[in-house]
Amino acid sequence: MRLLRRLAFLLRRDDGLESELEFHRLMKQDELRAKGIPETEILSAAQRAMGNDLLARERALDVWVSPALRDASQDIKYGLRVLVKDRRFAIVAIVTLALGMAVSQAVFAFVNATVLHDLPFEDPHRLLTVRTIDPRGFNSGISWLEFQEWRRESTVFESLSADLNQSVSVSDAAHAAERLSGAFISATTFRTLGVAAALGRDFTDSDDEDGAVAVTIISYGLWRTRYGGDPSVIGRVIRVNEQPSTVIGVMPERFAYPLVTDLWMPMHLAPNLQSFTWTSTSFGIAGRLKPGAAIAQARAEVEAISSRLAREHRELARDRRVVVLPLKEGTLAPDALSLMMALLGAAVVVLFVASANVANLLLARSWRRSREIAVRLALGASRWRVVRQVLIECALIGVAGSLLGSYLSWFGFNAMSAAFNVFEIGAPDRPRKVYWFNPDADGAVWLFGGAAFLFASLAAGLVPALHLSKAGTNDILKDGRLGAATRSSRRWAAALMIGQIAVAVMLLVPGGLFARSFFGLYRTSPVIDTRDLVAMRLTLPPARYATPGQRREFFRLLEERIDASGVFSESTIASEVPIQPLTAATRLVAVAGRAIEPDEQLPRVTYLLAGQRFFETLRFPIVRGRALNPDDSASGSPGVVINERAAAVLFGGDDPLGRRITLTTGAQAPPLVRTVVGIAPTLPDYLPNQPDDMAVYAPLPSDPSQPRGISVIARSTSKAAAAAALRDEVGTLDPDLPVHAVQSLDEMLALTRSGARMVGSWFQTLALIAVVLACVGLYALTANGVGQRTAEIGVRMALGARAGQVIMLFMRQAFVLVAVGLALGLTGALASTRLLSTFLSDVDPRDPVTFITVAVAVSLVACAASAIPARRAARVDPVRAIRTD
Amino acid sequence: MGSGPPDLLPGTLDLLILRALRGGSKHGYGIAEHLRAQSDDVLQVGESSLYPALQRLLLNGWVKGEWGVSENNRKARYYTLTAAGKKRLTVEVDEFDRMILAIHKVLKAAI
């Protein structure tokens, strides 16, 4: 009840006390008048009789609102007035804090969305995945054959499922053919993940038996866009890769697995499933541990099985590693987790630096305010009240900075999230996020934001507040400035400054390394002239192009048709675009005739099948020998071009021209024997941390198995025009063959570098902010010194010191701080950049150019920041400076 | 300047106000006058004690305040005893009697 009444009182606009007291006064005047006091004296007499009515009102208000609370609101009003008056200071402080808040919150939200969120599956902690790390350090999936062994032998998994990503073409009576991302999955996959269909049913084991009726489950998104959300889609027969297939289910909204997938088919429908070898490691794995089983058991079991398999099957690389990971971790690149934690650490440090700078700014300001504070202390303000005033001003800066920072962090978060965009083959302009990236802000994000705010405000306010609380009133009044505690506070400020410079350097170095790596990729001669080259993909449906002969015939007709039409000035076909090293087929290679040890591990080459005008169209130079010609495919051991790297590895110093090599897939298939007719330059490594790839370029018709997909590469200034032209030509050969994955080679190049560019830009942004903050810090620190020593400067100048000497007086301190900070920062950077080597290509993590550039740049910027207040010191008018009182 | 009663026992002012209001609603000035007149000018309650005390009583719900028009046509807040206030008054009077009795005993014993 009391609380309710208190609230009602607070909500009332007018407490009535004023008019009540006014009434009292009037009554008093009446009373005095009745006593015969002359009218002229009535007012003052009534005043005397009443006493202090302001006090009466205050004390009456105190009953309702505790005095401390009212003081606080007064302090806030006062603080706001002070900040508005000292606008420049307020803006610098708020922006400084906002930068720190924005960075830390954006990075935290990002790490939260990527790493801290649980997977959107049932009991996600029991879900594991298995990956293969090949001798080159590449992380890939598992082969179908190996998966089957595990499923048969393992005992710790409740269920173990495999999935194979593949784009498929979908058509039905009502809609045109569309190329969509599909996945062939074990029937148990959705049960393993613990996700049920939203509509219709899940796969059953009998759906995945040979000879079963073809069935499909579609994604919620596809159901809405292509089928208008019509529930009667269940049971409808559509055509997947030109084969009829019955839609049996729709998955829930936002469900996506293994990547962004639009439709799922049982594994047995995967084209040529039985011809996948031990080395086709393109299958993803999801396993659910039995309740109570530990990941260590799964590791031991998988290791035992895989090392037995490695003994039994020669083609399995001996030094590959099979790793069992929580499903969540398996989604991230191996070093991404540590990198993200490093980023989060850096962001928190930036927040700390920002708060420390605000502390320094406040400290610098307290010199200017020392008179005001001394007067307040002398007039009887309690020390706590003065400290509280400073803390409240900090909190105000904190609130404003946090609000601004949270707003800015939203942009930062969105920019960072772009790293997890998945561009679909069909719609490259409509990026989707991978399923394990959950951008929803949850409690953790708010909690972090709140904690960051509290930390920043307290860290910024505590130092100046403590400083003030220790200062002696007498000293302040005597000197007119805060004298005590300066030594310790100066030492603290200097340490802070050194730390800041070190942090800025530690962030700048990786930022610079990324920039160098990125520009390095552009600088290295691209070998291929990618200007105006457009790549387009055709995928032959297995049903109509079942045999290699049929496919070879189609490729021959295609090449002929394009050449005859003359729509492209230059064009070629090829099994892959050569700048996409990961998708290319590979073969184990050996020099023909050399005896191979039973245990020998053969090197792996990229095996690219080239059309007739391949080298010509790409302007791919031949270093020695000649390019491929049509006769090369005809002869008994067809001619091939190898790259310089392969020549060096296989033949050492010998001349490879005319020599013969063998290529095998590793299975029992007989090796292909090929004659080297030319040597091409090695393409630069488009992916970071990848050794130069060995490559063999063979004439397309010579390949006995013939690929299922073909890229058409043509020189054209417009992607759309090129695609339209190709569509017309292909239409005359096969009207049901969609042209997809239309992309310029420059775009492909940009995409292969986007990871490094993304991570690089995070570091560069952080580094830039750290530098700005360090400058603010140095400025504040020097300004601090100048403010403190104005009188001393005056004396020095009066005694004949020149402006340069005065400037040096203050710059000397900055030099020392910068030097120490630089030394610490460079040492730290040297120790930590190794972490980044996975993301850097073409540049040594200890690259001296980057280190020196950073050191010089930081020194220059830092000195400039401290020079501004130092120069102000030199302009001090000695007469006024000495007479500060 | 007569701004407070001569050292009242703590809480006594609240009791006196409640007692003053038993005869009917009064405004602040009226209460002060009432107390002065009833005590033969001994208890001169100043505003800075009276009004905070009234707020305290309002907060506790023992009196309620309503705006009305005074005898000479001025707007004034009239305080009325609530049911809870009446109950409180009897409790406080009893309490006060016991206290005075106790003090008397002590003083007599001292003599």
On the question of pLDDT at A461 being above 90, the answer is no
DSSP bridge pairs for A243 = A240
Whether residue B20 is contained in a domain is answered as yes
Q: What is the pLDDT of residues A673-692, one digit of tens each?
A: 999 999 998 887 665 545 55
Q: What is the pLDDT of residues A291-343, one digit of tens each?
A: 888 889 989 988 888 888 888 877 676 667 888 888 887 777 666 777 778 77
Same domain for A164 and A174 = yes
Label the pairing between strands A215-218 and A157-172. unpaired
Residue B58 contacts A where some CB pair is shorter than 8 Å: yes
User: Where do the DSSP E strands lie in A74-186?
Assistant: 127-133, 139-140, 157-172, 175-185
Q: What is the pLDDT of residues A872-883, one digit of tens each?
A: 777 777 777 666
Q: What pLDDT is recorded for position A669?
A: 65
**Spatial CB neighbours of A335, under 8 Å, sequence gap ≥ 6:** A835, A838, A839
In terms of Cα–Cα distance, which of A50, A29, A59, A23 is closest to B28?
Answer: A23
Q: What is the pTM of this model?
A: 0.65
Same domain for A237 and A309 = yes
Sign of the alpha-carbon torsion through A210, A212, A213, A214? negative
Same domain for A297 and A174 = yes
Ramachandran class of A661: left when φ > 0, alpha when ψ lies in -120 to 50, beta otherwise: beta
Residue A12 contacts B where some CB pair is shorter than 8 Å: no
Integer Cα distance of A225 and A461 in angstroms: 55
**Spatial CB neighbours of A226, under 8 Å, sequence gap ≥ 6:** A170, A175, A178
DSSP bridge pairs for A289 = A157
Q: Which residue has the tokens 């675009």?
A: A577
To the nearest whole angstrom, how far is the Cα of A378 from the nearest Cα of chain B?
A: 27
pLDDT, mean of residues A837-866: 80
pLDDT, mean of residues A100-116: 86
Return the minimum-mean-pLDDT range out of A44-48, A277-281, A544-548, A621-625: A277-281
Q: How far lies A884's CA from each of A478, A481, A484, A780, A810, in Å? A: 12, 10, 18, 21, 20
User: Where do the DSSP E strands lie in A80-174?
Assistant: 127-133, 139-140, 157-172
State percent of chain A over pLDDT 70.
Answer: 87
Nearest to A63 among B29, B55, B75 (CB): B55
Whether residue B79 is contained in a domain is answered as yes
> Which residue out of A6, A20, A62 would a mutagenesis test of the B interface target, given it has the greatest number of B Cβ atoms within 10 Å?
A20
Contacts A–B by Cβ distance under 8 A: 76
Same domain for A871 and A843 = yes
Q: Are B64 and A8 in contact (CB under 8 A)?
A: no
Label the pairing between strands A432-433 and A639-643. unpaired
DSSP 8-state class, residue A137: S
A358's tokens: 């605000």
How many domains does chain A divide into? 5
Instruction: Give the confidence band of A185 by pLDDT, cuts at 50, 70, 90.
Output: very high
Instruction: Give the confidence band of A838 by pLDDT, cuts at 50, 70, 90.
Output: low
Q: What is the pLDDT of residues A588-611, one digit of tens each?
A: 888 988 877 766 778 888 899 999
Cβ of A57 within 8 Å of Cβ of B51? The answer is: yes
Alpha carbon of residue A269 to chain centroid: 37
Q: What is the pLDDT of residues A568-578, one digit of tens each?
A: 889 999 998 88
Q: Are B55 and A58 in contact (CB under 8 A)?
A: no
Nearest to B1 among A17, A48, A60 (CB): A48
Integer Cα distance of A753 and A747 in angstroms: 10
Q: What pLDDT is recorded for position A462?
A: 76
Residue A45 contacts B where some CB pair is shorter than 8 Å: no
Q: What residue numbers bound the domain in which B24 lies? A: 12-110
Q: What pLDDT is recorded for position A676?
A: 94
pLDDT, mean of residues B91-108: 88
State percent of chain B over pLDDT 70.
Answer: 89
In terms of Cα–Cα distance, which of A756, A293, A342 is closest to A515?
Answer: A756
To the nearest whole angstrom, how far is the Cα of B37 from the nearest Cα of chain A?
A: 14
Return the minimum-mean-pLDDT range out of A377-391, A611-625, A821-835, B26-40: A377-391
Whether residue B5 is contained in a domain is answered as no
Question: What are the φ and ψ backbone dihedral angles of A422, each rounded to 5 degrees?
Answer: -115, 125
Please tell me whether residue A843 adopts helix, strand or coil conformation.
coil
A324's tokens: 């069992």
Return the minimum-mean-pLDDT range out of A340-344, A400-404, A440-444: A440-444
Q: What pLDDT is recorded for position A583?
A: 64
Cβ of A56 within 8 Å of Cβ of B47? The answer is: yes
Q: What pLDDT is recorded for position A254?
A: 80
Label the pairing between strands A263-266 and A175-185. parallel
Q: What pLDDT is recorded for position A111?
A: 85
Q: What pLDDT is recorded for position A571?
A: 92
Instruction: Give the confidence band of A508 by pLDDT, cuts at 50, 70, 90.
Output: confident
Helix residue ranges, H only, A789-877: 790-798, 803-832, 848-874
In terms of Cα–Cα distance, which of A785, A854, A844, A839 is closest to A503?
Answer: A854
Residue A62 contacts B where some CB pair is shorter than 8 Å: yes
Residue where a domain terminates, one of A705, A736, A767: A736
Residue B3 contacts A where some CB pair is shorter than 8 Å: yes
Identify the residue with better confidence: A189 or A508: A189
Closest chain A CA to residue B68: A20
Same domain for A276 and A139 = yes
On the question of pLDDT at A360 being above 50, the answer is yes
Residue B66 contacts A where some CB pair is shorter than 8 Å: no
Average pLDDT, chain A: 81
Integer Cα distance of A434 and A427 in angstroms: 15
State percent of chain A over pLDDT 90.
Answer: 13
Same domain for A599 and A512 = no
Q: What pLDDT is recorded for position B82?
A: 92
Cβ of A23 within 8 Å of Cβ of B59? The answer is: no
> Which residue out of A63, A64, A65, A66 would a mutagenesis test of the B interface target, given it has the greatest number of B Cβ atoms within 10 Å?
A63
Helix, strand, coil proportions of chain B in percent (round to 5)?
Answer: 55, 15, 30
A47, exposed or middle or buried, with CB in 10 Å at 0-12, 13-18, 19+? middle
Buried b vs exposed e over A51-80: b needs ≥16 C-beta within 10 Å?
Answer: bebeebbebbbebbeeeeeeeeeebeeebe
Other beta carbons within 10 angstroms of residue A789's beta carbon come to: 19
> Which residue out of A7, A57, A59 would a mutagenesis test of the B interface target, given it has the greatest number of B Cβ atoms within 10 Å?
A59
Q: What is the pLDDT of residues A243-269, one digit of tens each?
A: 889 999 999 988 888 877 889 999 998
Cβ of B52 within 8 Å of Cβ of A2? The answer is: no
Chain A partners within 8 Å of B26 (Cβ): none
Question: What are the φ and ψ backbone dihedral angles of A719, each rounded to 5 degrees?
Answer: -60, -45
Same domain for A723 and A688 = yes
On the question of pLDDT at A423 being above 60, the answer is no
Return the minimum-mean-pLDDT range out of A4-18, A824-838, B93-107: A4-18
Residue where a domain terminates, one of A294, A319, A344: A319
Whether residue B6 is contained in a domain is answered as no
Instruction: Give the confidence band of A436 by pLDDT, cuts at 50, 70, 90.
Output: confident
A532's tokens: 């105006």
Among A508-517, A581-590, A694-703, the range of highest mean pLDDT: A694-703
Chain B partners within 8 Å of A60 (Cβ): 51-52, 54-55
Whether residue A533 is contained in a domain is answered as no
Other beta carbons within 10 angstroms of residue A598's beta carbon come to: 5
Q: How far lies A469's CA from each of A383, A395, A460, A477, in Å? A: 6, 18, 15, 15
Q: What is the pLDDT of residues A703-727, one digit of tens each?
A: 988 988 899 999 988 888 888 888 8
Residue B68 contacts A where some CB pair is shorter than 8 Å: no
Q: How far lies A698's CA from each of A104, A445, A605, A706, in Å? A: 52, 54, 12, 12
The amino acid at residue B62 is W
Closest chain A CA to residue B51: A60
In terms of Cα–Cα distance, which of A673, A606, A588 is closest to A643?
Answer: A606
Integer Cα distance of A541 and A709 in angstroms: 9
Integer Cα distance of B16 and A394 in angstroms: 48
Chain A partners within 8 Å of B77 (Cβ): 16, 19-20, 23
Please tell me whether residue A624 adopts helix, strand or coil conformation.
strand
Integer Cα distance of A332 and A339 in angstroms: 11
Q: What angle do CA A811, A815, A821 make, to 5 degrees?
A: 140
Integer Cα distance of A79 and A73 in angstroms: 10
Identify the residue with better confidence: A635 or A456: A456
Q: What is the maximum span of chain B, computed from C-alpha positions, in angstroms?
A: 54
Average pLDDT, chain B: 84
Whether residue A582 is contained in a domain is answered as yes
pLDDT, mean of residues A422-431: 55
A852, exposed or middle or buried, with CB in 10 Å at 0-12, 13-18, 19+? exposed
Q: Which residue has the tokens 């393109």?
A: A282
Integer Cα distance of A432 and A421 in angstroms: 5
Alpha carbon of residue A758 to chain centroid: 6
Q: What pLDDT is recorded for position A440?
A: 73
Q: Are A686 and A532 in contact (CB under 8 A)?
A: no
How many domains does chain B divide into? 1
Whether residue A325 is contained in a domain is answered as no
Whether residue B90 is contained in a domain is answered as yes
Same domain for A352 and A297 = no
Alpha carbon of residue A864 to chain centroid: 32
- The enclosing domain of B41 has a CATH number of 1.10.10.10
Nearest to A5 among B29, B32, B59 (CB): B59
Same domain for A12 and A116 = no
Whether residue B49 is contained in a domain is answered as yes
Chain A partners within 8 Å of B56 (Cβ): 63
Same domain for A75 and A54 = no
Cβ of A63 within 8 Å of Cβ of B56? The answer is: yes
To the nearest whole angstrom, how far is the Cα of B108 from the nearest Cα of chain A?
A: 38
Q: What residue numbers bound the domain in which A12 lies? A: 2-65
Instruction: Give the confidence band of B3 by pLDDT, cuts at 50, 70, 90.
Output: very low
In terms of Cα–Cα distance, which of A503, A487, A483 is closest to A352?
Answer: A503
Whether residue A536 is contained in a domain is answered as no
Integer Cα distance of A362 and A395 in angstroms: 12
Same domain for A273 and A158 = yes
The amino acid at residue A180 is L
Q: What pLDDT is recorded for position B79?
A: 93
Identify the residue with better confidence: A333 or B23: B23
Integer Cα distance of A123 and A767 in angstroms: 39
A470's tokens: 């220790």
A874's tokens: 């030199």
On the question of pLDDT at A214 being above 50, the answer is yes
Whether residue B2 is contained in a domain is answered as no
Same domain for A164 and A223 = yes
Q: What pLDDT is recorded for position A542?
A: 77
Sign of the alpha-carbon torsion through A791, A796, A802, A806? negative
